Structure 1
């Protein structure tokens, strides 16, 4: 394995970093050349490209976790200009981890959509791939300008995906979603422009190097620029009170889109974690730890808002949306408190909560369809508003149509109701943070870090009030989530309903099973995963290595021109 990784690092690593961005772009372009009737080809391309992207992401993760090998922090200069003058892509432990998470959830969502939802509208597959391109670019870019570019690609694709399937609820929620994200994009531009005017750079590493040297007369303007930029990211991270758009939008989206959107809030958390540890590290002088109190306070209020929202909801789609808000609040509060051990725990919790919420969105569609006698309807949507049900389909309940308008009888998964129940229980345990699954391990790691902020040598030292408040909120939010999900589970699985047993297509049950198994695998391999996240946290809180790697990356030299009249030496 080391020999393979060494070969990849020395020969393919620089170009492999580009694959998660270029692959979905080329796939989307190819699918646009196909006719809309060629759905099977588009499904094959979508699944194949996403699976290949996941394989590349795993290779990048294996490379990033080998600190002794060349290229463990990979820097790619697409324009062959050194930083800060050219575009820079950077791969480290954090970005590699986010790529694997992104492509894992995306593969499950793409497989689920291939069963029925992809034909609820046009251009689903190209939009899906462009969404992946934006997500991967946001995780890999090392400068704010290109972060804005990838954000816009991601958002533009998400507008189409949210409206996929039409219907009044989706259009209404989609218009609100578009409006709030256009406002966030405007704030992003304003904040980035102000930062460039103050520091003369948008490269993240160069910004981190320049923060401490900003003149005292410009320090207030610098903080204002960072605050404006932070608001744009906090809108995406669903911080209260900026998260009023999330539950209506995510619950109105089709199930695979909702599962993919579970990653969107984590993009906001990722950017805040990346920039906050870079720009406001202890080396930032007067700007060190800027905004930490706002992150802690806002994150705690968001946790409480999400927990109360779950307790007050009885629709599965709303519960999944509020679960995403609650987990986002936990992550933001932990970022604001930010020490190494706590950051390692929050990264593990990020993985666990994202996978569980994505699975919950997929389960929402299956359970609602079962409850509504086989009709695929969104929450709070009437049967006659079903987005892609035709007269030919109504009489055959849940049977979708193939390209020849013939009914497709899905293979019945044995004990489908038991499968749905077990998957729902698993998601409940993870979201509520109960043993023995990954949600409990993630919350335990966070609570342990909160109660031991400086390690084992501080036994008996007084803890900050904020630490006690956050521990209490984590316990209470877990209790509220357990009550809310248990209540809905009883309603759907234990109450008497005059309905037939659910019928699930294999391509619907398999993605849910894979996401549930990922939650179990995170618990089974909790030791190695936590060691990885702790090493990632240590690197984030010691940003000198990242800054040095980005700023010292050298362009590839031009080949030496052969003397006039001489024959250039051939190379094998």
Structure 2
């Protein structure tokens, strides 16, 4: 019989679901109790995800999956949850962002609209289920759960801009869901299965005409996933939506675009790996090309952004484009460094989304217009330069400024933080060719990574000057501990990735090795008998 430890895989799905159901029964005026339940649930999810991360890390490379058969039905006939190093990493990242965003929301955002805590837990449930599921149909189900919850989070609060951006977001994601359903239906019609491990086993045996139809299904599914990841040209909605959302919602959405990257990485390495026959490596060049264009588009957007929220939204595009291009290279060393970049950039973007609202409190609504006017007419108050030498910086401004600088270093990929380690690792892997010439696409990607980092640094410096150095008054914003603590916590995690860069890279390299040897995943999912089956009993 399976012990309690064996049931731990399903906890990240059941726990937020039960928590949301309980809070749905409570009166909306009992926000205090809902807050306690929400914090307790999310903290428990964080603990469980760390335990699962440790469990995945202790697995041997090549057989690094743990499965959970719902209803004791073996794959591919029943629903199966699969835990490996990649899914455990994404679970832990989701839990970290969840606890940070929820703590921040307790300052005021959880009172801005109804059912916030219920929607938040359903969002976590959908994300966790999407990372753990082992078949495409349930991936679609969890996609719909998290998208339905994200609609509520996008529209949480008030304001015309938020409603307008939310309606666009809903329309785009309904289109993506429609494409997802078409692709899944076509794939099932050809292969007769939606279990990802079973798909990887059947695709190499397909005839050429069936392989062409599966390629069409994969292209449709890829379009839906790339749309979710914010890939060009399907990313026009992302900066506007993320900028209009509330700070805790936007911080949690930092993992949403990475979900699309996760599914692409999972399916491309598992189903279209070297052993996929006629479809081996299908779509790799398109992924690389799409990633390069996404980086370029995000770079232009960062430089053109006139507000900090939109700048952060465009930084999401650069991050997604970098990861998509890294997957498209097909180089395991590049992918390993890209996974470290994924974690650091996601944490940095989430921290900056939370920081944006605190920085906006320092800005007077007419500050930009007045600053331009003073510059144009050379207005200055330096008539008596000896009146004041040296100004004491309030502690709040110092903390906000230090956090802003750390976020700028993370997003630009500059040392000493983990964003630099990830970018440098990708560049070094592309330049290491064992005597062969470096491909032109590698030089283009290296150039775009460098230019995007420089553009982010310029944009963040410009914003920092206007926010901290060119303020027209000496007012200090009111910042609560519960608001700044999540920001500092996320940045400290990024710092720990730098200090513990060796163990972190070892984990990422082991994750990449698992992805590059899909037979271990296939055997781990399809080769598990029913619990309690007699010796020698075979699956039907």
What is the TM-score normalised by the length of structure 1? Answer: 0.87
Distance 2:202 2:361 in 1: 55
Q: Deviations over 1:46-91 (max 9, x none)?
A: 1111010000000000010112599952100012111111001000
Counterpart pick for 1:427 among 407, 412, 415 = 407
Counterpart pick for 1:555 among 530, 534, 540 = 530
Cα contact 2:61–2:513 (8 A) shared by 1: no
Cα distance, 1:537 vs structure 2: 0.2
What secondary structure is seen at the aligned counterpart in 2 of 1:17?
Answer: helix
The equivalent of 1:293 in structure 2 is 285
User: Pairwise mapping of residues 497-516 of structure 1 onto structure 2 (< 5 A)?
Assistant: 497-516=472-491
Cα distance, 1:12 vs structure 2: 2.7
What secondary structure is seen at the aligned counterpart in 1 of 2:67?
Answer: strand
The equivalent of 2:496 in structure 1 is 521
The yes-or-no answer on 1:225 pairing with 2:217 is yes
User: Pairwise mapping of residues 139-218 of structure 1 onto structure 2 (< 5 A)?
Assistant: 139-218=131-210
Cα contact 2:344–2:418 (8 A) shared by 1: yes
Counterpart pick for 2:464 among 489, 492, 499 = 489
What secondary structure is seen at the aligned counterpart in 2 of 1:212?
Answer: helix
Cα contact 2:64–2:520 (8 A) shared by 1: no
The equivalent of 2:35 in structure 1 is 43
Distance 1:47 1:71 in 2: 35
Distance 1:10 1:497 in 2: 65
Q: Deviations over 1:367-421 (max 9, x none)?
A: 1122248xxxxx9xxxxxxxxxxxxxxxxxxxxxxxxxxxxxxxxx970111000
User: Pairwise mapping of residues 52-451 of structure 1 onto structure 2 (< 5 A)?
Assistant: 52-68=44-60, 73-372=65-364, 415-451=395-431
Cα contact 2:416–2:498 (8 A) shared by 1: yes
Deviates further, 170-179 or 491-500: 491-500
**Regions of 4+ moved over 4 Å:** 68-72
Cα distance, 1:217 vs structure 2: 1.6
Distance 1:61 1:555 in 2: 25
What secondary structure is seen at the aligned counterpart in 1 of 2:230?
Answer: coil
Q: Which has the higher contact order (CA 8 A, sep 6+)?
A: 2
Cα contact 1:63–1:71 (8 A) shared by 2: no
Distance 2:71 2:268 in 1: 27
What secondary structure is seen at the aligned counterpart in 1 of 2:77?
Answer: coil
Cα distance, 1:11 vs structure 2: 2.9
What secondary structure is seen at the aligned counterpart in 1 of 2:255?
Answer: helix
The equivalent of 1:534 in structure 2 is 509
Distance 1:337 1:27 in 2: 42
Unaligned runs of 5+ in 1: 1-8, 374-378, 380-412, 560-572
Distance 1:481 1:322 in 2: 10
Cα distance, 1:10 vs structure 2: 7.3
Distance 2:100 2:147 in 1: 20
Q: Deviations over 1:155-188 (max 9, x none)?
A: 0000000000021111100000000000000000
Distance 1:221 1:514 in 2: 48
What secondary structure is seen at the aligned counterpart in 1 of 2:441?
Answer: helix
What secondary structure is seen at the aligned counterpart in 2 of 1:76?
Answer: strand
Unaligned runs of 5+ in 2: 369-392, 535-540
Cα distance, 1:452 vs structure 2: 1.4
The equivalent of 1:382 in structure 2 is none
Q: Deviations over 1:254-275 (max 9, x none)?
A: 0000000011000000000000
Distance 1:73 1:83 in 2: 14
Distance 1:212 1:243 in 2: 33
Cα contact 2:230–2:320 (8 A) shared by 1: yes
Distance 2:62 2:216 in 1: 39
Equivalent residue pairs, number: 508
Deviates further, 231-240 or 213-222: 213-222
Cα contact 1:239–1:328 (8 A) shared by 2: yes
Cα contact 1:207–1:279 (8 A) shared by 2: yes
Cα contact 1:356–1:427 (8 A) shared by 2: yes
What secondary structure is seen at the aligned counterpart in 1 of 2:411?
Answer: helix
The equivalent of 1:478 in structure 2 is 453
What is the TM-score normalised by the length of structure 2? Answer: 0.92
Cα contact 2:101–2:251 (8 A) shared by 1: yes
Q: Calculate the aligned-residue CA RMSD, in Å.
A: 1.8
Cα distance, 1:135 vs structure 2: 0.3
Distance 2:211 2:50 in 1: 41
What secondary structure is seen at the aligned counterpart in 2 of 1:79?
Answer: helix
Distance 1:61 1:372 in 2: 45
